[in-house]
């Protein structure tokens, strides 16, 4: 069991100057408009930023265009308390002093329009995501535990990518840069009567830089220099459609990457490469059942495939593959009991038909993993105790086959301390169930644990948000987080 205490003061100043323009025809979102932007990630229904029971950052499409961010890692690096690391294969995310390289970001959830894309137990935030950021109207980053609304994995935060709708104008962009970088993207809006939608495609290729790695500085390894081994290719197509109260989403993406670092003892400067691909289909419908009563149903199928090839000295080649295919269904019922009270109840079911990791070396093949099912139930009550004070309480129950059930509570008290300020007192718990790789992988110096349980985190947080001027927002957070049973790969 690993206990870690992180107490820090994080101050972030978001400056939005309405006098500055990205281009002459592309005005910057004013701060007042940004603060009124509906945030849907924390509670699964629209709230203003000051009412969200969490520490939240919103990154708009204007900011993405202004700074030229190309990956989700670029975006998140701009927010307070966040840092990333990169090992020339994947980019790893850390927040508030906690980040474990090689955990494949499995303690965060990344969503697209509320659809969980972290079902394989990992998510790429660099070029692995392989989606053009110009496809999104905004990105919502909710810090802290989120298991009450999202189940396993939402330990450190939830990131929701909100797609642009048919009202956004069509666009075509091409670009290039050093290391042979070439990019292209196009987005078209479609409207035919009550059927409206959009299609976005993107493509990127880079030959990569020549690298010098001091650890390999010897004559037999080209004095530590590897040439054109850092290449990176990705492409994607993202389509959305809306007909009356029904919405559709389809995503197909793939990314191939050269690995130039001689990782895992493989041949330095060899032809190591990895490929990640995802295919996602989703449908969502919303129906009003009466005054203040709304039912939302969602179903989606997500398939994720990984393949790696790692040559060793002497001609041996290690190959490994991972496949996950899951079908999920969710129901959410929102009931405005009275003008000052809102109840949100939800249920979710995941049937992971395929969840395997396999590897082969010198004619010997091995595999781990088995199908599993997950059932989740959640409830949250938001009550306005007065004009200035709001209390939110909630809990979720999650039961996954082959793992112990988990009950996770949350609570938030929000005080409007002034017309332009709010004080939030937050408490939350979250968990993560181990994946098949962590429970069963054995090879060489690594062995499987027979009694591997879920990870847990408990967080207390104090957040203050203050609008200083019409274009400056100051936020500060004081937090205390305690993690137990943290899972790590260890010889």
pLDDT digits (tens, 9 = 90+) for 14-54: 222 222 223 334 445 565 666 667 777 776 777 887 788 88
> Contact 6/98 with Cβ under 8 angstroms?
yes
pLDDT digits (tens, 9 = 90+) for 125-146: 999 999 999 999 999 999 988 8
Average pLDDT over residues 3-9: 34
Radius of gyration of the chain (CA): 23
Q: How far apart are CA 177 and CA 209, in angstroms?
A: 12
pTM: 0.88
Residue among 229, 99, 144, 139 nearest 480 (CA): 144
Q: How far apart are CA 464 and CA 457, in angstroms?
A: 22
In percent, how much of the chain has pLDDT > 90? 57
DSSP secondary structure code for residue 209 in this structure: -
Q: How far apart are CA 258 and CA 90, in angstroms?
A: 11
What is the model's pLDDT at position 452?
81
Residue among 138, 155, 149 nearest 53 (CA): 149
DSSP states of 103-131 as a string?
A: STTTTEEEEETTEE--TTS----SGGG--
Residue among 403, 283, 384 nearest 53 (CA): 384
- Name the more confident of 369 and 35: 369
What is the model's pLDDT at position 18?
26
What is the rounded end-to-end Cα distance, in angstroms, of the chain? 16
pLDDT digits (tens, 9 = 90+) for 459-481: 999 999 998 887 788 889 999 99
Number of H helices, E strands in the chain: 5, 28
Which H or E run contains 204?
Answer: strand 195-206
Query: 262, exposed or middle or buried, with CB in 10 Å at 0-12, 13-18, 19+?
Result: buried
Distances (CA, A) of 4 to 98, 458, 481, 486: 9, 11, 7, 10
Residue 283 pLDDT level (bands cut at 50, 70, 90)? very high
Average pLDDT over residues 411-432: 92
Q: How far apart are CA 352 and CA 347, in angstroms?
A: 17
Q: H/E/C letters for each residue in 422-479?
A: EEEEEEEEEEECCCHHHHHCCECCECCCCCCCCEEEEEEEEEEEEEEECCEEEEEEEE
Which H or E run contains 134?
Answer: none
DSSP states of 2-70 as a string?
A: ----EEEEEEEEEE--TT-EEETTEEPPPHHHHHTSPB-TTTSS-B-GGG-SS-EEEEEHHHHHHHT--
Q: How far apart are CA 283 and CA 311, in angstroms?
A: 42
Q: Which position has the token pair 């962009």?
A: 173
pLDDT digits (tens, 9 = 90+) for 434-443: 887 788 887 7
Q: How far apart are CA 10 and CA 277, in angstroms?
A: 36
> Contact 241/262 with Cβ under 8 angstroms?
no
Distances (CA, A) of 368 to 88, 153, 436, 448: 26, 20, 7, 11
> Contact 436/357 with Cβ under 8 angstroms?
yes
What is the model's pLDDT at position 420?
84
pLDDT digits (tens, 9 = 90+) for 192-239: 889 999 999 999 999 998 999 999 999 989 999 999 899 999 999 999
Angle 15-21-23 (CA atoms, 0-180°, nearest 5)? 145
Residue among 382, 379, 436 nearest 408 (CA): 379
Residue 121 has pLDDT above 80, yes or no: no
DSSP secondary structure code for residue 72 in this structure: H
* Spatial CB neighbours of 324, under 8 Å, sequence gap ≥ 6: 119, 120, 121, 302, 303, 304, 305, 352, 354, 355, 356
Q: How far apart are CA 404 and CA 412, in angstroms?
A: 27
Residue among 104, 124, 110, 103 nearest 256 (CA): 124
In percent, how much of the chain has pLDDT > 70? 91
- Name the more confident of 112 and 1: 112
Residue 398 has pLDDT above 50, yes or no: yes
Q: What is the mean pLDDT of the chain?
A: 86
> Contact 137/39 with Cβ under 8 angstroms?
no
Q: How far apart are CA 116 and CA 244, in angstroms?
A: 23
Residue 369 has pLDDT above 50, yes or no: yes
Residue 69 pLDDT level (bands cut at 50, 70, 90)? very high
What is the model's pLDDT at position 404?
78
């Amino acid at each position: 069991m690993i206990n870690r205490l992180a107490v820090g003061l994080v101050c972030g100043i978001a400056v939005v100057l309405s006098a500055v323009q990205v281009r002459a025809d592309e005005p910057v979102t004013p701060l007042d408009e940004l603060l009124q932007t509906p945030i849907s990630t924390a509670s699964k229904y629209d709230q203003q930023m000051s009412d969200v029971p969490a520490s939240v950052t919103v990154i708009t499409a204007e900011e993405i265009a202004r700074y030229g961010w190309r990956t989700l890692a670029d975006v998140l690096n701009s927010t307070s308390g966040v840092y990333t690391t990169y090992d020339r294969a994947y980019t790893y995310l850390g927040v508030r002093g906690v980040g474990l390289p090689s955990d494949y970001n499995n303690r965060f959830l990344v969503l697209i329009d509320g659809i969980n894309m972290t079902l394989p137990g990992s998510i790429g935030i660099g070029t692995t995501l392989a989606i053009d950021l110009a496809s999104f109207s905004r990105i919502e980053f909710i810090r802290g535990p989120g298991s009450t609304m999202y189940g396993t994995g939402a330990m450190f935060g939830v990131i929701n990518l909100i797609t642009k709708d048919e009202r956004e104008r069509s666009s075509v962009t091409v670009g290039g840069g050093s290391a042979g970088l070439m990019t292209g993207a196009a987005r078209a809006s479609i409207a035919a009567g009550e059927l409206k939608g959009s299609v976005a495609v993107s493509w990127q290729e880079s030959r990569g830089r020549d690298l010098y790695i001091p650890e390999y500085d010897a004559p037999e390894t080209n004095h530590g220099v590897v040439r054109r081994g850092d290449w990176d290719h990705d492409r994607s197509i993202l389509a959305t459609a809306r007909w009356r109260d029904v919405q559709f989403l389809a995503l197909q993406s793939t990314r191939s990457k050269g690995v130039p670092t001689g990782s895992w003892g493989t041949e330095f400067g060899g032809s190591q490469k990895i490929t990640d691909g995802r295919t996602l289909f989703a449908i969502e419908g919303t129906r009003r059942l009466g005054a203040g009563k709304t039912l939302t149903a969602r179903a989606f199928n997500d398939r994720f495939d990984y393949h790696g090839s790692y040559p060793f000295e002497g001609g041996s080649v290690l190959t490994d593959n991972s496949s996950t295919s899951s079908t999920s269904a969710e129901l959410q019922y929102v009931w405005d009991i009275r003008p000052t009270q809102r109840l949100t109840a939800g249920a979710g079911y995941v049937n992971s038909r395929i969840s395997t990791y396999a590897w082969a070396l010198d004619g010997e093949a091995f595999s781990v993993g088995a199908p599993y099912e997950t059932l989740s139930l959640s409830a949250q009550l938001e009550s306005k105790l007065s004009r200035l004070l709001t209390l939110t309480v909630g809990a979720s129950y999650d039961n996954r086959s082959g793992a112990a059930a988990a009950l996770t509570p949350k609570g938030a008290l929000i005080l409007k301390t002034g017309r332009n300020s709010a004080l939030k007192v937050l408490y939350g718990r979250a968990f993560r169930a181990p994946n098949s790789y962590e429970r069963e992988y054995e090879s060489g110096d690594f062995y499987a644990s027979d009694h591997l349980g879920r990870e847990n985190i408990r967080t207390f947080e104090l957040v203050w948000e203050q609008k200083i001027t019409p274009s400056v927002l100051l936020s500060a957070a004081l937090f205390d987080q305690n993690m137990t049973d943290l899972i790590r790969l260890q010889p």
